[in-house]
Structure 1
Amino acid sequence: MKKFFTGMLFALGLMVAGEVNAQTKIGYISSQEVVSIMPEARKADSLLTDFKNALIQNATDKQNAFYAAIDKFNKDSATLSDAVKVVKRTELTKMGQELGGEEERIQQQLQQKQQELIQPINRKAYEAIQAVAKEHNYAFVFEKEALLVAPPAEDILPLVAKKLNIKLPTAAGGNQPAAKPTTPKQ
């Protein structure tokens, strides 16, 4: 009797697990693709390009001022006293050192600006993915690029795009989401 009862509990457990498994919806999405189709991302790219161009122009202006100061020093050096020459050389050396670190400063400023611009876009995409998962009863949503092997799932990109009121690019653009794999019914 004890074996029968244990067997019945085991069978009941398998049936419940099978029911839970059959009802578990799994989806996947490329969050990079979601962000790339968002209009905010194109605007951020444009703003970042403008910012980069402004930084480069500023660096170019500093470089031109440095070269002009060197030329002026070279022209005026015959009439300058030794003490003034030492001061001017020190100033030129300092300008040259500052100019040498300009590329690193530009990269740091660009990275900071990029983070500032992309963070709200990533947050909006994440919230849309969360909302779609909840609305459509997805128990799991995986990052498409992160998994090598996964159980059958659905690409939820079209649902997220609809949630964000974004029209997906056509197949001619090459960004058409992959066809949904069929999920075997149990």
Structure 2
Amino acid sequence: MKQLKNIAVALVLFVATTGFVNAQSKIAHINVSELLAEMPEMKAAQAELQKLQETYRADIESSMTELKNKYTQYSNEASSKSAEENEKRAQELQGFERNIGEAQQAAQQELAKKQAELFEPISKKAKEAIEKVAAAQGYDYVIDATQGGGLIVAKGPDLLTAVKQELGF
């Protein structure tokens, strides 16, 4: 019986200690999207992506104009050509359309790949700065306060200013 009482007391002390330790955890929050948007590296990366996107758009628009011109030319000449040649031209136009569609898909894939390539080191740098500031200020947990990120109440300290200082802007 005495052993059972000792186990019960130990269990109560363990639960109380665990609750006390958990109550000591320091929590802060930061809007990671806002931080990333304000980083100079992100602005440069977005400008590079915009430039690449404009290049792809110009190439595709050029191909579309060429397709439109061929379609107009072939339509105007259709009455003077044989049915066999008109069929051959129609297939040529369809192949050209297919190539444009493939070029659009390839451009989207290249843009996504380039975005991931550019944003990964920026995200890593931001994460490292957040971790450094959180450790320096003694925070156990930092919650992302980006809208839709799951944070409902933000009464704790916001680390955005401190992390921006750590990053030098």
The equivalent of 2:119 in structure 1 is: 118
The 1:162–1:89 alpha-carbon spacing in structure 2 relative to 1, beyond 3 Å, is: same
1:26 and 2:45 aligned: no
TM-score w.r.t. structure 1 length?
0.70
The equivalent of 1:162 in structure 2 is: 165
**Which residues in structure 2 correspond to 1:57-72 (within 5 Å)?**
57-72=58-73
SS, match of residue 154 in structure 1: coil
The equivalent of 2:138 in structure 1 is: 137
Instruction: Identify, as 1 or 2, the structure richer in helix.
Output: 2
What are the superposed Cα offsets for residues 97-151 of structure 1, whole Å, 9 maximum, x if unpaired?
333565555444433332222222111111111122222221111111322247x
The 1:7–1:89 alpha-carbon spacing in structure 2 relative to 1, beyond 3 Å, is: closer
What CA distance in whole angstroms lies between the structure 2 residues aligned with 1:5 and 1:116?
Answer: 56
- Determine what percentage of the aligned residue pairs are the same residue: 28
The equivalent of 2:57 in structure 1 is: 56
Deviation at 1:51, TM superposition (A): 1.4
What CA distance in whole angstroms lies between the structure 2 residues aligned with 1:86 and 1:6?
Answer: 90
Deviation at 1:90, TM superposition (A): 1.1
The 1:138–1:90 alpha-carbon spacing in structure 2 relative to 1, beyond 3 Å, is: same
The equivalent of 2:98 in structure 1 is: 97
Decide which moves more: 8-17 or 70-79: 8-17
The amino acid across from 1:53 in the alignment is E
What CA distance in whole angstroms lies between the structure 1 residues aligned with 2:96 and 2:14?
Answer: 80
The 1:83–1:159 alpha-carbon spacing in structure 2 relative to 1, beyond 3 Å, is: same
The equivalent of 2:152 in structure 1 is: 148
The amino acid across from 1:117 in the alignment is L
What CA distance in whole angstroms lies between the structure 2 residues aligned with 1:27 and 1:157?
Answer: 10
SS, match of residue 140 in structure 2: strand
The equivalent of 1:45 in structure 2 is: 46
The equivalent of 1:183 in structure 2 is: none
What CA distance in whole angstroms lies between the structure 1 residues aligned with 2:7 and 2:99?
Answer: 82
Decide which moves more: 98-107 or 58-67: 98-107
SS, match of residue 28 in structure 1: strand
Gaps of 5+ in 2: none
The amino acid across from 2:161 in the alignment is P
SS, match of residue 125 in structure 1: helix
- How many equivalent residue pairs? 163
The amino acid across from 2:92 in the alignment is E
The 1:84–1:131 alpha-carbon spacing in structure 2 relative to 1, beyond 3 Å, is: same
Provide the alpha-carbon RMSD of the alignment.
3.1
The 1:12–1:66 alpha-carbon spacing in structure 2 relative to 1, beyond 3 Å, is: closer
Deviation at 1:35, TM superposition (A): 0.4
The amino acid across from 1:125 in the alignment is A
